[in-house]
């Protein structure tokens, strides 16, 4: 849903679909901006001695509002499971989630009074900022990557891309039958490699430095230079197939990388939200334990 | 003797297809090569992978080619044997060669050849594997485990540390790491740095804000500013917002007037911030309006709103007891010290005093004229001056010597008028006796006349007073005499019972404000050159214009305001209330100044900003 929402941004108001970011003419953006502005002005006008901190009346107020907001923002995880329409639609809720989440940067930072240290309080603040930044990242990649995602697939679906690799593998298997043991072992390396192999970092970076298919292709090309005549035929065929597979793998890996870049933010946004709530709880308890 | 091969494969709908062949040989090749007896078309199988050989009627040997392996009954090996009576399994690459138990009466060795399930490929291409999730721990697992770790590390551990410290000795707490430091929102001020490890020193009870008792446990000498009830009366009417704040704080058991209201902590390793002028002015700018019986004048800013100084002046005597009273300098109080002393005379550059000073200069270090320091000795801390001591501070010139005997000078005893009278009478008598030559001397002619004369002279000498001696005594106590020139004398109607009125000075004039002479040793009023020594003294105390000891030569507020302004001022010395007044009223140096000293900002001079050219030079203002 979110992806479609962003994609439709460029169609403007005339579009039948209104993204959650543009919801009701940026209603929540305006609310968030006004609240932030008011808070900054209040912060500058209020004279807290000896300096701004979380323990002044303004600090407590900002802290209470911020904590409440964090809990409410986290509730999107529950709310999103029920899609509804109208004033309290999920879209409205999501729009508010995004813009009030951004407002939390102002609320949280002013609450700290710009006093940071190696303690549970700054931990909670840092986690909050991580969550917000991961959210900003999520929104950004949803706006940018889906187009590239469809480009990278060359109008192919995921299963089609897999089938392409699979078909090439089968052809490789057949074509490699006449090969000598040493050569067939090289081809087997390409066949045995899991195209989905590698950890999350490899998926995100798209860096498959130890690609068996590439190694096999390189090796077979060298073999092609060495052999002549009838021996060269199967190897030539293998090289062509490996080249095709390299292209298929590249397309597949590009797609996997975009998927990973698109999905990775949730692995920060959601777990860090939980950690943030835990740290927030520890922060609040500690403040009043040692009041 | 033959091998009976049964090639088993699966059709698309899962039906089993069996192709049977029989090889009459006792040795067959297994491999990918089309020339092999058992052809296994998978790249995991070498062209010639292994050889099967019937060794005996009940044994089949399997040997893999050099560098290759097969799996015989689950064991990966280069070669082995299988009993045909029981049968066995040989795995070559993805293929399984099942050697069946030989049927009774048959010489053929039956081998089922099948390819292992190819499910691995299906799994490899599971479309769900496009998702990043397959390479990362679950979000739920991550969430709960990290949240639990944070709660354990940042909540449970510090709480445990707190309860562990409660019963521990302070020395034990001071060392080692305590997890409750994870809660510290900032470093303590430098004064409290030693408590950095000891949270419970101030945070005595959980969920209870820091109590004054924690402060007074160490700060035993701190005075309250004033009576709490009077302070509440004096506090200006809180605005609605501050009243709400106060009521919320009160709801949580935070009564106003706590130490921590002002002394906030965890603001970094800094010194205490100087108290702002407004902090005092909140109540004191209109104190009389709310606290009718106060004797304090309203004050808001030294430059623009500060009452005239009210020093404690010795205004009268109850018999021998001096009585001081706080009197505003505006009322021109006289100081009844009972001393007679013209400052102007002594400071005159040309008079007899200066002349005497020059004569005695070599002996006492006097200059061309008398300086203030020649008589006034500062206390060791330089704050004020030691009481004037007659013998040490005046006696250089005002000698009470009256007789020299050999190398010894006899002096009248200062402060003991009766002894003075006795000494003078004694001196008068002694002079006569000596003149009469009462010693053995030249022998006199015998006869009554001389004896009678001597007797008369002895009698006269022994008499209490001769007219000359009596005159000498009276002379000493006249206003021009050795005693009377400085002291007020109560002369008796008759006899010699002269009395001196006691002399006293207040040691400290300004009881509720702090003034130290030390930073004022060198003074420079705006538009004037810097002056030192006596000129610095005279820039505030107009001693050179005073001929009467009752002149109270204290500078007034206006005089100070030449240099000292309010907290923010165009005058050379911005002066907030805390420069002279301590919130926790005591007699000593205001804490604000002490802290400045500790921080190394000592005042050896009052450096005054140079006046802009053309600015009118203001004369020093004094009372």
Q: Find the CB nearest B132 among A51, A264, A285.
A: A264
A176 Cβ under 8 Å from any chain B Cβ? yes
Residues of chain A found within 8 Å of residue B134, distances taken between Cβ atoms: 196
pLDDT the model gives residue A100: 93
pTM: 0.67
For residues A268 and A257, membership in a common domain is answered with no
The answer, yes or no, to whether residue A32 has pLDDT greater than 70, is yes
Confidence of residue A205 (pLDDT cuts 50, 70, 90): confident
Rg (CA), chain B: 56
A277 Cβ under 8 Å from any chain B Cβ? yes
The answer, yes or no, to whether residue B611 has pLDDT greater than 70, is no
Cα(B178)–Cα(B30) distance, integer angstroms: 72
pLDDT the model gives residue A274: 94
For B217-237, the pLDDT digits (tens) are: 888 878 788 888 888 888 887
For residues A270 and A254, membership in a common domain is answered with no
The answer, yes or no, to whether residue B460 has pLDDT greater than 70, is no
pLDDT the model gives residue B452: 64
pLDDT the model gives residue A122: 95
Most confident of A256-265, B251-260, B313-322, B553-562: B553-562
For residues A90 and A224, membership in a common domain is answered with no
Burial of B456 (0-12, 13-18, 19+ CB in 10 A): exposed
Show Cβ contacts of residue B175 under 8 Å, excluding neighbours closer than 6 positions.
B197
Contact B146 A271 (CB under 8 A): yes
For residues A13 and A115, membership in a common domain is answered with yes
Contact A177 B155 (CB under 8 A): no
pLDDT the model gives residue B601: 46
Question: What chain B residue is nearest to A51 in terms of C-alpha separation?
Answer: B267
Question: What chain B residue is nearest to A175 in terms of C-alpha separation?
Answer: B43
**A127 within a domain of the structure (yes/no):** yes
Q: Give the percent of chain B with pLDDT over 90.
A: 15
Contact B135 A200 (CB under 8 A): yes
Q: Find the CB nearest B47 among A119, A181, A259.
A: A181
Mutation to test the A interface, candidates B34, B120, B142, B150, most A Cβ within 10 Å = B150
The domain limits of chain B are 3-124, 151-273, 401-500
Which comes out higher in pLDDT, residue B308 or B593?
B308
A167 Cβ under 8 Å from any chain B Cβ? no
For residues A204 and A275, membership in a common domain is answered with no
* SS3 state of residue B135: helix
Confidence of residue B152 (pLDDT cuts 50, 70, 90): very high
Range of the domain at A187: 158-262
Mean pLDDT of B508-534: 88
Q: Find the CB nearest B154 among A185, A279, A287.
A: A279
Structure-derived torsion over alpha carbons of residues A270, A272, A276, A278, reported in degrees to the nearest 10: 90
A168-172, B356-360, B595-599: range with lowest mean pLDDT: B595-599
**A43 within a domain of the structure (yes/no):** yes
The answer, yes or no, to whether residue B174 has pLDDT greater than 60, is yes
The answer, yes or no, to whether residue B433 has pLDDT greater than 70, is no
Task: Provide the number of structural domains found in chain A.
Answer: 2
> Distance (Å) from the C-alpha of residue B347 to the closest C-alpha of chain A?
51
Mean pLDDT of B266-274: 78
Question: What CA–CA distances, in Å, run from B233 to B89, B255, B259, B512?
Answer: 103, 15, 19, 21
Residue A167's H or E segment, with its range, is: helix A158-175
Structure-derived torsion over alpha carbons of residues B367, B372, B373, B378, reported in degrees to the nearest 10: 180
DSSP string, B441-471: -SPPPPSHHHHHHHHHHHHHHHSS--HHHHH
For residues A181 and A138, membership in a common domain is answered with no
Q: Which residues are bridge partners to B551 per DSSP?
A: B334
Question: What CA–CA distances, in Å, run from B277 to B262, B550, B599?
Answer: 14, 36, 21
The answer, yes or no, to whether residue B439 has pLDDT greater than 50, is no
Contact A281 B151 (CB under 8 A): yes
pLDDT the model gives residue A71: 94
Contact B183 A177 (CB under 8 A): no
Cis peptide before B359 (omega within 30 of 0): no
Please choose, from the candidates B609, B73, B564, B613, the residue with its C-alpha nearest in 3D space to the C-alpha of residue B277: B564
Contact between B65 and B46 (Cβ < 8 Å)? yes
Contact between B521 and B604 (Cβ < 8 Å)? yes
Most confident of A204-208, B47-51, B304-308, B420-424: B304-308
Class of domain B3-124: mainly beta
Contact between B565 and B486 (Cβ < 8 Å)? no
A208-217, A274-283, B581-590: range with lowest mean pLDDT: B581-590
pLDDT the model gives residue A281: 96
The answer, yes or no, to whether residue A288 has pLDDT greater than 70, is yes
**A153 within a domain of the structure (yes/no):** no
The answer, yes or no, to whether residue B613 has pLDDT greater than 60, is no
Q: What is the ipTM for the molecules in this complex?
A: 0.84
For B105-144, the pLDDT digits (tens) are: 777 888 888 887 655 555 555 677 788 888 888 888 989 9
Q: How far does chain B reach from its first CA to its final CA, in angstroms?
A: 142
Q: Give the percent of chain A with pLDDT over 70.
A: 90
The answer, yes or no, to whether residue B563 has pLDDT greater than 90, is yes
For B154, which DSSP code? I
Q: Find the CB nearest A266 among B139, B182, B203.
A: B139
The answer, yes or no, to whether residue A137 has pLDDT greater than 90, is yes
Contact B132 A196 (CB under 8 A): no
pLDDT the model gives residue A277: 95
For A56-89, the pLDDT digits (tens) are: 888 999 999 999 999 999 988 888 877 776 667 8
Residue found by looking up tokens 């020059």 in the block:
B358
For residues A106 and A232, membership in a common domain is answered with no
How many Cα neighbours within 13 Å face the side chain of A213? 22
Contact between B559 and B553 (Cβ < 8 Å)? no
Contact B127 A158 (CB under 8 A): yes
The phi, psi pair for B17, rounded to 5°, reads -115, 125
Mean pLDDT of B80-108: 83
Confidence of residue B432 (pLDDT cuts 50, 70, 90): low
Confidence of residue B445 (pLDDT cuts 50, 70, 90): low
A177-191, B489-503, B603-617: range with lowest mean pLDDT: B603-617
Average pLDDT over chain B, rounded to an integer: 81
For residues A131 and A274, membership in a common domain is answered with yes
> Distance (Å) from the C-alpha of residue B135 to the closest C-alpha of chain A?
5
For residues A241 and A214, membership in a common domain is answered with yes
A209 Cβ under 8 Å from any chain B Cβ? no
């Amino acid at each position: 849903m979110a992806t479609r929402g962003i994609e439709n941004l460029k169609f403007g108001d005339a579009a039948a679909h209104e993204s959650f970011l543009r919801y009701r003419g940026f209603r929540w953006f305006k609310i968030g901006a006004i609240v932030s502005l008011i808070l900054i002005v209040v912060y500058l006008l209020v004279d807290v001695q000896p300096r701004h901190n979380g323990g002044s009346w303004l600090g407590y107020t900002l802290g209470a509002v911020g904590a409440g907001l964090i809990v409410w923002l986290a509730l999107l995880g529950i709310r999103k499971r029920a899609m509804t329409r109208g004033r309290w639609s999920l879209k409205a809720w999501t729009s508010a989630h995004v813009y009030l989440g951004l407002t939390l940067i102002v609320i949280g930072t002013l609450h700290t009074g710009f006093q940071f240290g190696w303690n549970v309080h700054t931990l909670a603040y840092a986690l909050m900022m991580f969550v917000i930044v991961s959210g900003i990242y999520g929104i950004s990649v949803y706006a940018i990557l889906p187009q590239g995602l469809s480009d990278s697939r060359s109008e192919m679906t995921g299963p089609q891309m897999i089938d392409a690799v699979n078909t090439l593998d089968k052809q490789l298997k057949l074509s490699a039958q006449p090969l000598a043991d040493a050569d067939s072992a090289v081809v087997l390396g390409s066949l045995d490699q899991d195209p989905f192999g590698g950890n999350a970092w490899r998926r995100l970076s798209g860096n498959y430095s130890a690609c068996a298919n590439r190694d096999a292709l390189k090796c077979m090309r060298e073999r092609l230079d060495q052999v002549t005549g009838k021996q060269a035929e199967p190897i030539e065929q293998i090289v062509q197939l490996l080249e095709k597979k390299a292209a298929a793998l590249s397309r597949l890996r590009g797609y996997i990388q975009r998927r990973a870049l698109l999905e990775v933010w949730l692995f920060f946004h959601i777990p860090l939200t939980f950690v943030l709530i835990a740290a927030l709880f520890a922060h609040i308890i500690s403040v009043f334990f040692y009041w | 003797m033959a091998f009976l091969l049964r090639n088993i494969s699966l059709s698309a709908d899962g039906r089993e297809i069996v192709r049977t062949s029989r090889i009459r040989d006792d040795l067959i090749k297994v491999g990918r090569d089309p020339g092999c007896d058992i052809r296994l078309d998978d790249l995991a199988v070498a062209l010639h992978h292994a050889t099967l050989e019937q060794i005996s009627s009940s044994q089949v040997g399997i040997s893999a080619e050099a560098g290759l392996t097969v799996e015989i009954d689950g064991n990966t090996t280069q070669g082995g044997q299988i009993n045909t009576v029981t049968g066995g399994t040989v795995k070559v690459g993805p293929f399984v060669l099942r050697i069946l138990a030989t049927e009774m009466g048959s010489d053929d060795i039956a081998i089922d050849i099948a390819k292992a399930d190819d499910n691995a490929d299906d799994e490899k291409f599971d479309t769900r594997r496009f998702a990043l999730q397959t390479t990362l721990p679950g979000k739920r697992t991550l969430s709960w485990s990290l949240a639990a770790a944070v709660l354990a590390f940042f909540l449970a551990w510090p709480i445990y540390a707190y309860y562990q410290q409660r019963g521990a000795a302070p020395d034990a707490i001071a060392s080692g790491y305590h997890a409750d430091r994870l809660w510290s929102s900032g470093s303590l001020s430098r004064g409290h740095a030693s408590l950095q490890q000891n949270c419970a020193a101030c945070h005595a009870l959980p969920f209870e804000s820091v109590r004054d008792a924690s402060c007074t446990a160490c700060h035993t000498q701190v005075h309250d500013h004033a009576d709490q009830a009077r302070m509440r009366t004096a506090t200006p009417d809180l605005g609605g917002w501050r009243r709400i704040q106060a009521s919320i704080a009160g709801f949580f058991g935070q009564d106003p007037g706590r130490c921590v209201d002002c002394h906030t902590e965890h603001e970094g390793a800094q010194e205490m911030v100087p108290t702002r002028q407004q902090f005092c002015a909140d109540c004191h700018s209109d104190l009389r309006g709310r606290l009718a019986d106060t004797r304090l004048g309203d004050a808001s800013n030294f430059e623009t709103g500060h009452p005239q100084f009210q020093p404690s002046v010795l205004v009268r005597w109850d018999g021998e007891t001096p009585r001081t009273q706080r009197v505003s300098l505006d009322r021109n109080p006289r100081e009844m010290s009972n001393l007679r002393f013209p400052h102007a005379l002594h400071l005159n550059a040309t008079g007899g005093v200066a002349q005497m000073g020059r004569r005695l200069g070599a002996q006492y270090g006097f200059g061309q004229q008398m300086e203030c320091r020649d008589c006034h000795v500062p206390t060791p801390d330089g704050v004020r001056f030691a009481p004037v001591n007659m013998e040490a501070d005046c006696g250089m010139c005002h000698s009470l010597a009256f007789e020299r005997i050999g190398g010894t000078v006899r002096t009248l005893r200062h402060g003991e008028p009766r002894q003075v009278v006795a000494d003078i009478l004694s001196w008068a008598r002694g002079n006569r006796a000596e003149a009469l030559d009462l010693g053995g001397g030249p022998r006199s002619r015998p006869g009554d006349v001389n004896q009678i004369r001597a007797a008369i002279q002895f009698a006269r000498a022994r008499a209490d007073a001769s007219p000359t001696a009596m005159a000498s005594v009276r002379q000493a106590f006249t206003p021009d005499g050795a005693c009377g020139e400085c002291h007020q004398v109560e002369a008796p109607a008759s006899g010699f019972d002269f009395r001196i009125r006691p002399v006293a000075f207040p040691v400290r004039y300004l009881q509720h404000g702090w003034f130290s002479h030390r930073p004022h040793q060198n003074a420079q009023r705006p538009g004037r050159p810097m002056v030192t020594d006596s000129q610095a003294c005279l820039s505030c105390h107009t001693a050179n214009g005073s001929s009467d000891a009752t002149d109270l030569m204290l500078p007034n507020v206006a005089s100070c305001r030449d240099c000292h302004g309010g907290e923010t001022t165009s005058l050379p010395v911005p002066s907030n209330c805390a420069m002279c007044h301590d919130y926790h009223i005591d007699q000593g140096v205001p804490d604000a100044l002490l802290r400045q000293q500790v921080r190394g900002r000592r005042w050896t001079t009052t450096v005054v900003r140079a006046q802009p050219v053309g600015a009118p030079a203001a004369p020093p203002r004094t009372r």
